Amino acid sequence: MQTLDKNVSGVPYGSGDIIDLSTAAHNLSVPALFEEAISRNEGIVAQGGPLVVNTGKYTGRSAQDKFIVKEPGSENHVDWKANKPFDPAKFDALQERVTDYLKGRKFYVQDLFIAAHPDYRLPIRVITELAWQNIFANNMLIRPTEEERADFKPRFIVLDAANFKAEPERDGTRTETFILLNFAKSLVLIGGTEYGGEIKKSIFTILNYLLPLQGVMSMHCSCNYGAQDDVAIFFGLSGTGKTTLSADPERSLIGDDEHGWGDDGVFNFEGGCYAKVINLSEKAEPEIFKTTSMFGTILENVVIDPKTRKLDLTSDALTENTRAAYPLEFIPNMDLKGRAGHPKNIFFLTADAFGVLPPISRLSEDQAVYQFLSGFTAKLAGTERGVSEPQATFSTCFGAPFMVHNPSVYAELLGKKIREHGVKCWLVNTGWTGGAYGTGQRMSIHYTRAIIRAALNGELDNVPTKVDATFGLEIPQECPGVPSDVLNPRDTWADKTAYDAKAQQLARMFNDNFKKYAEGVSESVRKAAPVVK
């Protein structure tokens, strides 16, 4: 941890005495925590041994209830246009109320690490009111050896009092729920929600603050490598195929969600996976499917028959955001070191429901930065009656809710890494072809896999290309295993005029969204924007 010891961020080491730990259970094993959770009626055991829990009112992140304490050490680094400030005095008062609430109660402590690279590894103490959340943290983070725990000094503390509800008028929160990050005190306070993902994403936010200050790129992406140590990174929002496409049986998986990219390569932040399991297919994703019947897995909001204890992974009766949290060891092709060299390829995945982007296109460095800042995908509008058009979604850096600095900080780091290491960059559309959603059809997963494989193998490096007139994308005209007419989206539309109109519509959306980044990027990046006629 030599780099972190320099304390370039101004963040002090966490203090273990923020709360009286005399009634806490320290570093219990997963079996012991399972017993605790069952005895406290926190969940039930399903067939095969996973623990099924119901997070109640909140089945996803409460993004509007997340705040960063505005204090002198970090305030000049935080992008306050994207992050909401919280008053330090209000934080101190709420911290005191939370610790008073836990006095005399039994709660749980796990001492863990985040970041697989030894120079950036961060000791995290996770304190939870619920036993199952301690299993969640143990699954998701990196587990120390007994020797490491004996001399454990937390750099950050995450205190999650799930059942404590804030009083907004008194505490300064927006609702009863709060996720508060205080970099001056090296402390995260969570309350009013049982959703386990708040713990995971708060810790990701911590690293998104610390690592860029040390010249390390923090990324919301999956990552794998092949037999020739050819590392690939996959950026993509929910529903674009980030997890599915990186889980290739012919390649080793480094991680499926959060990574850093330093001077000697990439590294996983986590020790586990937090996979969405709604409609999980045993055939398409056998490794992840298997974890849903393994002892040690936590299943959030998955419907279960209370008598037979059989799971119904197809049911969204509680939420569509059903999740499985399990350690990396449960996936057979995982590289448990969590580290590899510099990427040779970066894939930006988008599920374009407008049906106008090509299934693959080669990006210049400037285009890669433009796509990274845009973070485009499309949500389907079938959830609202009378709405037939897909809705464009732009999430800065493919992870807007977790980015602390101004987006230009992450974009500049990415551009620098691409340039230094000669990384090939690609935009891959896993969405619609032959028309927009409702008219066209979803891109074949077989074609997408063939496209990814060809790019990784260098089979697209010297094929003829065609530049798209609207988006300026360089489209390969040949790809093994993929019909040539599929590669050019305009050719797949019966009505070419309709395609041109839809392409212009999406181009305007890109340009309108990018206005907020224009002043912070170079002229060459601005010129990577689509052409609106």
Give residue 115's domain range: 8-43+56-216
Q: What is the pLDDT of residues 309-348, one digit of tens each?
A: 999 999 999 998 999 999 999 999 999 999 999 999 999 9
What token pair was written down for 203?
């810790």
Please report the pLDDT score of residue 385 as a whole number: 36
Q: For residue range 203-248, list pLDDT tens digits in order.
A: 999 999 999 999 999 999 999 999 999 999 999 988 888 888 898 8
On whether the pTM is more than 0.85, the answer is yes
Residues 143 and 21 in one domain: yes
Mean pLDDT of 268-278: 94
- Tell me if 228 is assigned to some domain: no
Statement to judge: residues 83 and 200 lie in one domain: yes
CATH number at residue 298: 2.170.8.10
Specify if 21 maps to a domain: yes
In a domain, 179, yes or no: yes
pLDDT above 80 for 297: yes
Q: Which among 145, 132, 301, 274 is positioned nearest to 203, based on CA atoms?
A: 274
Neighbours of 371 (CB within 10 A): 24
The domain tally of the chain equals 3
The pLDDT value given to residue 13:
43
Model confidence band, residue 17 (pLDDT cutoffs 50, 70, 90): low
| Statement to judge: residues 73 and 211 lie in one domain | yes
**CATH code for the domain of 19:** 3.40.449.10
114 and 36 share one domain? yes
Average pLDDT over the chain reads 92
Same domain, 325 and 346: no
Q: Do 409 and 319 belong together in one domain?
A: no
Residue 133 lies in a domain: yes
Q: Do 446 and 517 fall into the same domain?
A: yes
Asked, for residue 221, whether it belongs to a domain, the answer is no
Supply the residues annotated as catalytic: 61, 201, 220, 238, 242-243, 257, 323
pLDDT of residue 386 exceeding 90, the answer is no
Does 161 fall in a domain?
Answer: yes
CA distances from 150 to 26, 27, 147 (A): 12, 11, 5
- 302 and 362 in a single domain? The answer is no
How far, CA to CA in Å, does 362 sit from each of 226, 400, 467? 21, 24, 10
pLDDT score of 15: 47
Give the tens place of pLDDT for each residue, 32-41.
Answer: 999 999 999 9
The answer to whether 189 and 178 have CB atoms below 8 angstroms apart is: yes
Is residue 10 predicted with pLDDT exceeding 50?
Answer: no
pLDDT tens digits along 418-429: 999 999 999 999
**Residue 11 banded pLDDT, cuts 50, 70, 90:** very low
Specify the pLDDT at position 136: 98
Q: Is the pLDDT of residue 2 over 50?
A: no
Residue whose C-alpha is closest to residue 53's, from 346, 319, 342: 319
Residue 68 lies in a domain: yes
What CATH number corresponds to the domain at position 496? 3.90.228.20
CA distance 67 to 413: 25
> Are 82 and 210 part of one and the same domain?
yes
Task: State mean pLDDT over 29-55.
Answer: 97
- Are residues 492 and 346 part of one domain? yes
**For the chain, the helix, strand and coil percentages under 3-state DSSP, each to the nearest 5:** 30, 25, 45
Examine residue 93 and state whether it is found in any structural domain, yes or no. Answer: yes
> What is the per-residue pLDDT for 121?
96
